[in-house]
Structure 1
């Protein structure tokens, strides 16, 4: 099978993340009853958005959420069309993430937020020192703006730059670009993965062939660990590692410290996946990586040809199926959009599976959270009536300890008096276990 090539002053990053993990782990107590979600895509006055809200991204402590919305009534100074917002869960405030983007014709996409909740990154056609049809990666930190899709000389990318991913403190940024001037080693023909270090002002190419030659296929979907030392991504390239002969997209991880690449989408025995793999999500220390795969040889329970969620533990070279019920039964249909908590314990994902929903199943895509320690899988998109959401839910985001989540849903029964008849962003606090 042929691959489909697609064009398309800092402190240590690890210490504050570890401190945060300890703090929220201590504060998290098991609960006897699972709560229902709350509506998050609101104005300061509690007004529901008058148009759809999507693509939530959550901070490590779960208290800050960035999202995209077409709503014009969340703030008073929103420009017409799509805007990126930041919602403070505790303060119940909503603000524009990027006020400079108010120019007519500006396009802002791909929001993400750093683990400490202080830095928002996005792809935009309006930034500092440029106004072009090619999107660039813009970082917003307080009143400061920084365009990071640049080379070591400070020149902005000659092509599109999209899908940023931030380390915990926002020092390092991984992103996708199709460019000829960012860093040596990346192909000018295909989208490639880059890493920008804001402290040193350097940019390096990560998706480089094993022999130092440019990758022979497109690379996409970068995600960086909280400590900034590992970047996982999807690639159609065949020359990133030795023995890549399966003819489909794989998931890889780059070690920043060692400047090495390894393939993630393999079985416990190291066998390469027999089906396409994609959508990586990485734990805070880079040890555990969740991903999707259609391969039937990674776990005997997986349905061959259907996307399932797997977790690769790099510390012990194991691959586990995560899209399973609390009894360990695999979803009988597709699962998608996996997100792993920074502590590597919880995996969130979507699925319309009746195996996961049980007798309550209504055929809609629901959000689930699977506990890799206990094996428990719980329904997250659960209505105030204790029934699964009556509309499709997508795009889960999960806090560092897995206790808080945000997600998008078209369901109208998640909260009482959801009257805007469109997709909203929801937030939920879930029980966690000490086991």
Structure 2
């Protein structure tokens, strides 16, 4: 009964705090336990009674022998500190990574991590989840939440670094505590970091920026931006006169065409450019005036710490605040004088310990409590500046009494996954408040909530093994998928346990109950469930008049999140009579899967289809902005360069704009291709061999990677040779959600130091960094070998939306141990830690027996948080037959088949934000309805519902 009581509190608190469906769907990762709890009310009690065992996992050593000898002493001391830890409901794994000093760092970085793998119920037995969103991490000479060494900043923003967790409090000499910091845990789950910093007493390894420093630098940077804006807006105006002169020559003997050009393009274009200039410059001028006003403040105000927040009045302005609030930034800069240079680089001079936890999961919160008791804060601080730790840990437990003097975070956002049964209480947090759902009689209640499902298809729900309820979501024009209310007709008694299940759905569908069990009256009015097609045909016209087969449709991309997960799909097709296409050229199509509307978007301002091939569409996270490449010259006015260009389409206006513009606003002087848009729709990265896209010279390079700021219109080259200050070659880039990180491929050996393998590599560009980072390194930090591929192969990498993980494929045999299959494999790199994992091995760790992905260097799909990787494979030992799609979980190291059909072809997949939908092409008709193939016999592009996250209409 103890587990049930805790579960009741959790469900009540969820009802009391729900604001968005994103939060309702936030914790799907232990869905097995959710169903098991209905059959065993004591599930959580049995889990917490399970005593795990602390074990050691692998270590990655990249430091010298002398450095490692010192680092290992502190790692061992930390491990010994945990000797009294008795795991409850989890299996903790201890691992480590040790490095030598890196660029700009006076000290060597090392990390230890303790990952808590959780148990869940499977009937009467307990099984291990292999989830790793609960952990303790110890960083030596590093602080993940701000940069300690690099002074590089972007003059477009604040000009300084930001201390993410806010201001710490020194609770003991050299021991600093932060307020718990919100973090995403994957699968949409929201959790926290509890953070301690250990330093020399009274010192921190950064310096705080004063308001005066910020304002002076901000004014200097804004003046630079103002000069850029003045130049760019004037160039945009001058472009039209240059364009006019070109047309005067071209239409010298055709007055009608010249008149049409003047009235249809030149006059409105010039007017728009002239109108924009004063608006843009006026914004900068107003902001510069505001800066002068702020600099006139009293001296004591200007010497305060700079905690800034974007102004609501002018996006270029920053306001000051004296407290931490949403979106506030504590500005810092490196403090080189903090580090003592006469010590060995391996001596810890700053240590971070942080516990990542979910306060609504008893296993996770118990881990927090237990580990916090093991941390002897004073003893850890004694490591600072020493070549070896002392052997005494007598005060280990006693010193933790300080934790009760610290405020624990911020409000905790409730999770709504019923597989979590309890509201955890930790040593310093109050339990989440509870408010029971009341009924008129106080004795009975009706179960109610929502069902999201395909329209017109009956779905039968039940609870407690009976009490069936059949719902048929209404069907109508432009209404293929929607949400219907649930209300069971038979009431249940107060304190009666309930468990809602999907009793009957069509054989071609699959479903998940996100929220559906508890004890009345708690949670009874918030049942949440979703059903969708296992494989829904996407390449179909509005009204299903025409279908595009696998052989006629290509390269899908998927958008939609925050309640519209996977709703929008964009793809290329050359099917004749498909939404107006004549089949002569490949066109780009955008489909709203909920309304059933499909539209060609590669059209001219007058509605004509593109007069050249279009390819490689990429879509923003909300599904409302698309970029693609095309050789058509009629999509925008003035496209007369006879090269491929990159275009951007907006759903809101149904308009297209040219992205691959020259520095003067004209067209590129060479092909532009392989475009990728950031999740927020504000940035586009693409490849080009053009010379006029940025002020950085092309040099001897063949092609380069460029980043376009859609809002400011600025384009910069990012594949820059740091020595020559010119193009260094780059291809096939991928960009993070906010545009701050980009991965790309290059055969060059001059982009970073010590690139001696003579092969292509994957590089990482980071907005706040002055140099590129090579990330296609082996598991032990060495250069990879060539495997069976050419040195100049162009490989498509895929970066996760959060910028943490990069996935790519190679035949190299030394990326991970025991890779002896001589096939192409998929590798995933954690760019923060350098950890390399392989996604295309079997679940028991054996190499696959075929290429993954199938095409050489092809791009794989990765979810926003990097949890899910999807790829096609020729292997037959990954859980499916050859030429099928595999879905790999980077957290558990396990994979599953998305398709398992024989003798057909498969295309490159795309994956939705949370991994709920996999979009891919297959040459057979997977969408079976009433036993009959829907669409054409040649297959097409399909959407597969995984149930790993929210559905396409899962709004609150």
The question of a shared fold, defined as TM-score above 0.5 by the shorter chain, is answered with yes
Match of 1:107 among 529, 546, 552: 552
- Does the CA contact (< 8 Å) of 1:325 and 1:331 recur in 2? yes
Deviations 1:110-129 (A, max 9, x none): 21111531111111124322
Change in 2 beyond 3 A, CA 1:230/1:103: closer
| Distance in 1, Cα, partners of 2:23 & 2:607 | 35
- Does the CA contact (< 8 Å) of 2:757 and 2:783 recur in 1? no
Shift of 1:30: 6.5
Change in 2 beyond 3 A, CA 1:61/1:26: closer
Shift of 1:360: 3.3
Match of 1:401 among 845, 852, 865: 865
Tell me, what secondary structure is at the counterpart of 1:357?
A: coil
User: Structure 1 residue 183 and structure 2 residue 632: aligned?
Assistant: no
Tell me, what secondary structure is at the counterpart of 1:347?
A: strand
- Does the CA contact (< 8 Å) of 1:390 and 1:411 recur in 2? yes
Deviations 1:19-41 (A, max 9, x none): 96998699699759998xxxxxx
Match of 2:762 among 309, 317, 320: 309
User: Structure 1 residue 136 and structure 2 residue 596: aligned?
Assistant: no
User: Structure 1 residue 120 and structure 2 residue 573: aligned?
Assistant: no
- Does the CA contact (< 8 Å) of 1:30 and 1:432 recur in 2? no
> How do 1:273-352 residues align onto structure 2 when only pairs under 5 Å count?
273-274=727-728, 276-303=729-756, 305-333=758-786, 336-352=795-811
**Greater Rg, structure 1 or structure 2?**
2
- Which residue does the alignment assign to 1:13? none
Change in 2 beyond 3 A, CA 1:103/1:27: closer
In the alignment, structure 2 segments of 5+ residues that lack a partner are 1-19, 31-114, 119-127, 131-185, 189-507, 513-531, 854-858, 894-956
Match of 1:93 among 529, 534, 537: 534
- Does the CA contact (< 8 Å) of 1:295 and 1:304 recur in 2? no
Change in 2 beyond 3 A, CA 1:380/1:187: farther
- Which residue does the alignment assign to 1:253? 707
- Which structure carries more strand by proportion? 1
- Which residue does the alignment assign to 1:266? 720
Match of 1:430 among 877, 890, 893: 890
- Which residue does the alignment assign to 1:241? 694
- Which residue does the alignment assign to 1:412? 876
- Does the CA contact (< 8 Å) of 1:250 and 1:277 recur in 2? yes
| Distance in 2, Cα, partners of 1:102 & 1:88 | 24
Change in 2 beyond 3 A, CA 1:189/1:205: same
Shift of 1:175: 0.5
| Distance in 2, Cα, partners of 1:250 & 1:385 | 40
- Which residue does the alignment assign to 2:151? none
- Which structure carries more helix by proportion? 2
| Distance in 1, Cα, partners of 2:639 & 2:681 | 20
| Distance in 1, Cα, partners of 2:753 & 2:656 | 41
| Distance in 2, Cα, partners of 1:358 & 1:303 | 21
Shift of 1:340: 0.2
| Distance in 1, Cα, partners of 2:571 & 2:724 | 36
| Distance in 1, Cα, partners of 2:116 & 2:644 | 44
Tell me, what secondary structure is at the counterpart of 2:826?
A: strand
> How do 1:210-249 residues align onto structure 2 when only pairs under 5 Å count?
210-242=663-695, 243-249=697-703
- Does the CA contact (< 8 Å) of 1:310 and 1:319 recur in 2? yes
- Which residue does the alignment assign to 1:6? none
Tell me, what secondary structure is at the counterpart of 1:355?
A: coil
| Distance in 1, Cα, partners of 2:767 & 2:27 | 23
TM-score by length of 1: 0.75
| Distance in 2, Cα, partners of 1:124 & 1:25 | 37
TM-score by length of 2: 0.36
Match of 1:367 among 826, 841, 849: 826
Tell me, what secondary structure is at the counterpart of 2:818?
A: helix
Shift of 1:380: 0.7
Shift of 1:306: 1.7
Shift of 1:199: 0.5
Change in 2 beyond 3 A, CA 1:214/1:173: same
- Which residue does the alignment assign to 1:51? none
| Distance in 2, Cα, partners of 1:356 & 1:385 | 18
- Does the CA contact (< 8 Å) of 2:539 and 2:548 recur in 1? no
Match of 1:154 among 604, 607, 611: 607
Change in 2 beyond 3 A, CA 1:148/1:221: same
- Does the CA contact (< 8 Å) of 1:267 and 1:318 recur in 2? no
| Distance in 2, Cα, partners of 1:397 & 1:236 | 26
| Distance in 2, Cα, partners of 1:216 & 1:87 | 50
- Which residue does the alignment assign to 1:71? none
Match of 2:848 among 389, 396, 415: 389
Shift of 1:87: 10
Tell me, what secondary structure is at the counterpart of 2:617?
A: strand
- Which residue does the alignment assign to 2:38? none
* Count of residues in Structure 1 that have an aligned counterpart in Structure 2: 364
Deviations 1:290-311 (A, max 9, x none): 0000110112343464211011
- Does the CA contact (< 8 Å) of 2:698 and 2:727 recur in 1? no
- Does the CA contact (< 8 Å) of 1:171 and 1:197 recur in 2? yes
- Does the CA contact (< 8 Å) of 2:641 and 2:668 recur in 1? no
Shift of 1:210: 1.7
User: Structure 1 residue 207 and structure 2 residue 660: aligned?
Assistant: yes
Shift of 1:174: 0.1
Shift of 1:180: 1.7
| Distance in 2, Cα, partners of 1:272 & 1:19 | 48
- Does the CA contact (< 8 Å) of 2:779 and 2:816 recur in 1? no
Tell me, what secondary structure is at the counterpart of 1:193?
A: strand
Shift of 1:337: 2.2
Deviations 1:387-406 (A, max 9, x none): 12111112321000001110
- Does the CA contact (< 8 Å) of 2:816 and 2:836 recur in 1? no
| Distance in 1, Cα, partners of 2:23 & 2:687 | 28
Moved more, 375-384 or 286-295: 375-384
Shift of 1:184: 3.4
| Distance in 2, Cα, partners of 1:102 & 1:212 | 39
| Distance in 1, Cα, partners of 2:774 & 2:21 | 30
What is the aligned-residue RMSD (CA, Å)?
3.3
| Distance in 1, Cα, partners of 2:588 & 2:739 | 23
Deviations 1:336-383 (A, max 9, x none): 321000000000011111221323322211101000111111011011
Tell me, what secondary structure is at the counterpart of 1:360?
A: coil
